[in-house]
A and B are shown apart, each in its own frame.
Chain A
Amino acid sequence: MFTQFKYWKPYISPFDPCEPIRIKSYSTPPQLYIQFQPPGLPQYPTAKQALHCGTLWPDLFSPYPNPEKKGN
């Protein structure tokens, strides 16, 4: 299993006047972890759901914005 977002703590200098963002994140979508799509990958149960997600396969879906991040 992989995570769709990674987090890192940037260096914050005592002379950075903007209110620092202490933890930053970036997206690591599923295609980074799939060399070649295997055959027979499970599909969404309904066509409507697949259309909504933009892909037939839940394993390829990448949420954005980060659902774990509040206030987005």
Chain B
Amino acid sequence: MWYYEKKLQYPVKVRECNPRLAKFLVEQYGGADGELAAALRYLNQRYTIPDKVIGLLNDIGTEEFAHLEMIATMIYKLTKDATPEQLKAAGLGDHYVAHDSALFYNNASGVPFTTAYIQAKGDPIADLYEDIAAEEKARATYQWIIDLSDDPDLNDGLKYLREREIVHSLRFREAVEILKEERDRKKFF
């Protein structure tokens, strides 16, 4: 189970109403390399991975939900009280038709989230390599969003999230090293 702390992992601030930026940011909400995909991927892989790295997947998967919540707050603030005309001008007219101003799990192009984005192969090396790749792809996505954004307050939060991808990638690489180590050389068969 989880305990909930009613605060964000890192404060989120947005300088101006900017639905166009929200449209780009949603890639990290419901995109292939977004925070939802990351959280679901890691928490699901926990069950069949060797016990030495279950805790790592648990902790990082949980943190991804905290990131998801930050992204949601950013999108919400960027679009809050935007008029239908503003949303339409930002390329969110089709989003408005289906969802009003509600958030939804789709990517920046409006493609709905699918679990086909994630995998649980059962092979611990394959799973951890996927996790490392996912962190690097998410880091790159943050970089390209920061490049497109002219909101310094928002970018502060995005830079924090980008750094977390780097730390998580290293932790997954360490997990691979742990699984590679020679442990009990005794033959079991």
Q: How near does chain B come to A60, taking the closest CB pair, in angstroms?
A: 16
Asked if residues B124 and A32 are in contact (CB atoms below 8 Å), the reply is no
Using known A-B contacts A6-B179, A6-B183, A33-B180, determine if residue A11 contacts B123 with beta carbons closer than 8 Å.
Answer: no
Contact with B along A8-43 (1 / 0, CB 8 A): 101100000000000110111100110000000000
Asked if residues A32 and B180 are in contact (CB atoms below 8 Å), the reply is yes
Asked if residues B189 and A70 are in contact (CB atoms below 8 Å), the reply is yes
Asked if residues A26 and B189 are in contact (CB atoms below 8 Å), the reply is no
Q: Give the dominant DSSP class at A's interface.
A: loop
Q: How near does chain A come to B184, taking the closest CB pair, in angstroms?
A: 7
B120 within 8 A of A: no
A69 within 8 A of B: yes
- What's the Cα separation between A6 and B53 when bound, in Å? 14
Interface residues of A toward B: which range? 10 to 19
Q: Which residues of B contact A (CB under 8 A)?
A: 50-52, 123-125, 176, 179-180, 182-185, 187-189
Asked if residues A68 and B189 are in contact (CB atoms below 8 Å), the reply is yes
10 A-B pairs whose Cβ atoms sit less than 8 Å apart in the complex: A3-B185, A6-B50, A7-B183, A8-B52, A24-B50, A26-B50, A26-B124, A26-B125, A26-B179, A28-B180
Using known A-B contacts A23-B188, A28-B125, determine if residue A11 contacts B51 with beta carbons closer than 8 Å.
Answer: yes
Residue of B nearest to A2 (CB): B182
- What's the Cα separation between A23 and B184 when bound, in Å? 12
Using known A-B contacts A26-B179, A32-B125, determine if residue A10 contacts B51 with beta carbons closer than 8 Å.
Answer: yes
Q: How near does chain B come to A20, taking the closest CB pair, in angstroms?
A: 14
Q: How near does chain B come to A51, taking the closest CB pair, in angstroms?
A: 26
Q: A8-B51, A8-B183, A70-B189 are in contact. List 15 more A-B contacts (CB 8 A).
A: A2-B182, A3-B185, A6-B179, A6-B180, A6-B182, A7-B183, A8-B52, A10-B50, A11-B51, A26-B124, A26-B125, A27-B123, A28-B179, A28-B180, A32-B125
Q: Specify which chain B residues have a CB less than 8 angstroms from the CB of A24 in the assembled complex.
A: 50
